[in-house]
Every structure is written in structure tokens, then in C-alpha cells.
Amino acid sequence: MGYSDTPFLPDGKWRVHDVARPAPAVVNPGPAPAAPAPVPEDAVVLFDGKDLSHWTSGGKEARWKVAEGAMEVNGTGTIETRESFGDLQLHLEWAAPKGIESASQGRGNSGVFFMGRYELQVLDSFENRTYSDGQAAALYGQTPPLVNACRKPGEWQSYDVVFTAPRFENGGLKSPARITVFHNGVLVHHDVAFLGATAHRAVAQYAEHAASGPIALQDHGNPVRYRNVWVRKL
Ligand code: MG
């Protein structure tokens, strides 16, 4: 359910994955949409339900299962886009496995890594308590979502994101990565700064990197599905 022996976050109030950090309020976002959301004409479509041509895994072809208009985590590893991105708008839809086989971090765990580094957590947080900075739509290990807008396992959910890449100057951080996130249409992060690249049981830190990077989707061993993934470069 969390940790009590991890380092404190910079706010000095909560530890990383703090077992005592309060759970965000639950907000029912309404029913799942009947169909995938429309795609803007200037979007870069990264997954249209048919193939993984925009994705690689460990430098090779991505090998997640593609069926019924979705791609599904299958233990073959995290996948990342061939193309690199900086500032962007992202839309994606995901669904946790319908069959509940585990709890806490073991239930529908995946994640969206911006620039391959900054994780927006994917987790089945429908009646599934875990540490608050690790639940669905958390900036993993850093910031819980404002509310828990998770739908039931098996139901399609959406993330709509505005991500601003960090800027570096003379080897140091000039401005942090920032993110705004809607989970199933509900605001869960409003222009929040990342503390650094995502870490487990450690305080996130920045290390200089290129101005653009891939979007990665995590294989955490749970058969999470994705569909309708597109970005708009900003
Ligand atoms: Mg994850």
C-alpha cells in the first residue's frame, strides 16, 4: 500500500510513495464513450487500431498483441514511438484488464512516459487502493491526481494531456517539464511541474537530455489495452 522508509519529497511533507498520503476524492466521470474520440486533422496518429508501425521495443519491432482495434501489453517489453516529440498535446485511450487478479500496483499497471522519462501512471484505480502518488493519473512517485476519475476495469478511459518539455541551459535545468492532464474529461493535473525523471523509491531528479524524445508505453506485465493514440506537436 506504500512505503514509510523512502526519502521525503522536496515539499518535506510526504515521502515518495507515502503510505499515509491521503487518497484523492473519487469522482465518477460518467459512462465510457461508445466509440473512440474523433481525431483532429493535424494530429500525428501513433496508433489507429491496426498496426504497431509507429512503435519499437528495445530497438526492434514492437510485438504487443493487436486485436479488435486495440494494442495490448503482452510481456514483450515497453514500447516507444519511432518519432521524437517535445511540447505536445496527447490523446490516448486505455483499458485495464477486466479480470481482477491482483491488487495495488499489480492491477492494470502500465504508464505513459513522455520523452521516455516522465511517467503519467496507468493503473486500475477503481476501488483499488495503492499509494496515492502511484495511482491512475499520478505523476508516478511525485504527485497524485487531483481526483480519482477512474472507470471500472475493462471500460475504456481517456487521457488528454498538454506536456511542456523541460529546458536546459549550460548543463543545468532552466525550466522543468510541466503537465496538464484530463482523465476521462476530468482535470487531474493543472500545469504541474515534474520534479525530475520518474524514479521508484527515490526522489526524482533532472539530467540534461535532448529537446525531444519518444513517448513510451510501459509493459509492467499486466494486459492493459490502448487505442486511438495521437499527438499534436506544439
Ligand atoms: Mg506504471
Cβ burial of 76 (10 Å; 0-12, 13-18, 19+) is middle
Nearest Cα residue to 21 out of 125, 141, 179, 155: 141
* All three cell numbers of 125: 484505480
Q: Burial letters for 1-11: b for 16+ Cβ neighbours within 10 Å, e otherwise?
A: ebeeebeebee
Is 3.10.300.10 the CATH classification of the domain at 42-233?
A: no
Please identify which residue in the block is written with the cell numbers 514511438: 81
**Ligand 1 centroid, distance to 53 Cα (angstroms):** 23
Nearest Cα residue to 95 out of 156, 182, 48, 184: 156
Asked if 43 and 232 count as a contact pair (C-beta separation under 8 A), the reply is yes
Cα of 7 vs its chain's centroid, Å:
23
**Ligand 1 centroid, distance to 125 Cα (angstroms):** 12
**Ligand 1 centroid, distance to 66 Cα (angstroms):** 20
How confident is the model at residue 129, as a pLDDT?
96
**Ligand 1 centroid, distance to 180 Cα (angstroms):** 18
- As a whole number of angstroms, the distance between CA 199 and CA 111 comes to 13
Q: Domain coordinates of the chain in residue numbers?
A: 42-233
**Ligand 1 centroid, distance to 161 Cα (angstroms):** 17
**Ligand 1 centroid, distance to 163 Cα (angstroms):** 18
Nearest Cα residue to 161 out of 125, 204, 191, 122: 191
- As a whole number of angstroms, the distance between CA 94 and CA 122 comes to 8
Nearest Cα residue to 163 out of 102, 115, 121: 115
- As a whole number of angstroms, the distance between CA 25 and CA 206 comes to 30
Sign of CA dihedral 214, 192, 103, 8: positive
**Ligand 1 centroid, distance to 170 Cα (angstroms):** 32
Nearest Cα residue to 107 out of 123, 126, 129: 123
**One digit per residue, pLDDT tens: the chain, 234 residues?**
899 999 999 999 999 999 999 999 999 999 999 999 999 999 999 999 999 999 999 999 999 999 999 999 999 999 999 999 999 999 999 999 998 888 999 999 999 999 999 999 999 999 999 999 999 999 999 999 999 999 999 999 999 999 999 999 998 999 999 999 999 999 999 999 999 999 999 999 999 999 999 999 999 999 999 999 999 999
**Ligand 1 centroid, distance to 41 Cα (angstroms):** 30
- As a whole number of angstroms, the distance between CA 172 and CA 166 comes to 11
